[in-house]
A = this chain, B = another copy of it.
Amino acid sequence: MTGHNPGMNVTGHTRRPASIRDVATAAGVSYQTVSRVINGHPSVKPSTRERVLAAIDELGFRRNATALALASGRSRAVTVLTANTTHYGYASILQGIEEAARAAAYSVGIGVLESAEEPAVAAEVQRAADTGGGLIVIAYDPAGVRALGAVPAELPVVGVVETPASPPGPCHHTPACPAAPCTHSRRAGRKPEYIQYEGLRPAHREHAPDAAGPALRADDGSVAAGPSGDRPWVWTDDREAAYEATRHLLSLGHETVHYVAIPSSTRRTSARTTGWRQALKEAGAPEPRPVQGSWGPAGGHAAGRRLAEDPAVTAILCGNDDLALGVLRALHEAGRSVPGEVSVAGFDDAPHSAYLTPSLTTVRLDFTGLGRAAFALLHGVLEESAQIAPHPVSVPELVVRESAGPPPARPTRP
């Protein structure tokens, strides 16, 4: 009886939850035997196992997760570090992680990166590290990228990244470290989809302390040094998706396609921007300057106002659906009809996009699948026994709706 937590109250009901000692007493065995039973240890006589199980049931025993974590050093917990929890993509990734974590009996915590400043990010990473378990960081923005970089090497982490550090290609297994398994890039269908690189298991880290491990060695033998360092990651091929969307707009007859960009995770140009640019180049279309947007509709609205002033603009690709919503609104305010005069396409296929007027042509991305894949990867790093089942993430898919069509019959440009 420690005073602050008496075992019983006046009515004689147990107050403090039953411990393995309570179960042991009830079953007439030592508490070590109870431990064996709850851990599925094979060497327990069936009859005593029965008695223990009965006692567990009777007392409503639940193993104390805190004590388990302290004694064993493992914690069956994952915390998600992210700059945002409400935008469609972020929220869906979080949802996918939670789903998979729940299925694996992991608890999931979240930590929001409110600032992208280095000290604040470091503090948030520390906080997450303090709670124990593994980390998943959504590195779609500068705060996330910095957080991923600030994770101490000994912590198990997987990044959800915008672009892998190295061009995707088959892994080169390093003979020097035979114990480090390497998951080859997996592609579902023809198109590149997402690639899982399995990081080195903690036990083998010491064999390959250099920044770019074997999993990061690209096709051509060059060593990548991207934002995600040597940590395992998952991603969707945004570049490819933007490429397809731009080609679709071009195929409708537009001379070129303007682009309203989401903020990039790094100083360099984003994957979506790259894909858009590539399609333009291949088609020999003029390449307008991308308009910088934000994440929300307000940014799209501002960008749309500027674009609406230029009569030469007949097609606009937006970095996400919220941006597209703002663009649509700005075009409406400017009296330019969609898709009659201007075509608009988005990115993500957020839940509201199908119900807009006009409904939005966009690219569907499987964010929840991405979240599940991220967890599966982390799970594999955390538990030797957990096998990383190939976790399919569906390929980005162009969804054609009302907001994009052929350009005006008689071009408005002089």
A residues within 8 Å of B by Cβ?
4-5, 9-10, 15, 62, 64-67, 69-70, 73, 75, 77, 79, 85-86, 88, 91-92, 94-95, 98-99, 102, 105, 107-112, 114, 126-127, 129-132, 154, 206, 296-297, 300-301, 322, 325-326, 328-329, 332, 351-352, 354-357, 359
Contact = CB atoms under 8 A, between A and B. Distances in A.
12 contacts: A66-B69, A85-B85, A86-B91, A86-B95, A98-B110, A102-B127, A110-B110, A322-B352, A325-B355, A325-B356, A328-B357, A332-B357
Contacts of A73: 4-5
Contact of A110 (B108, B297, B322): B108
A65 B328 contact: no
A39 to B, nearest CB: 16
Contacts of A5: 73
A322 B99 CA distance: 24
A296 B351 contact: yes
Given A110-B108, A322-B351, A86 B92 contact: yes
A132 B279 CA distance: 52
A98 to B, nearest CB: 5
A76 to B, nearest CB: 10
Identical copies in the complex: 2
A297 B351 contact: yes
A125 to B, nearest CB: 12
Contact of A66 (B62, B66, B99, B355): B66
Given A5-B73, A107-B131, A99 B85 contact: no
A297 B352 contact: yes
A123 B381 CA distance: 27
Closest 9 CB pairs of A and B: A297-B355, A329-B355, A86-B91, A109-B109, A107-B131, A66-B69, A66-B70, A332-B357, A65-B130
Contacts of A91: 85-86, 91
Nearest to A92: B86
Contacts of A86: 88, 91-92, 95
A37 to B, nearest CB: 18
Contacts of A132: 65-66
A390 to B, nearest CB: 24
Given A107-B127, A109-B110, A357-B357, 7 more contacts: A9-B206, A85-B85, A85-B95, A102-B114, A105-B127, A325-B352, A328-B357
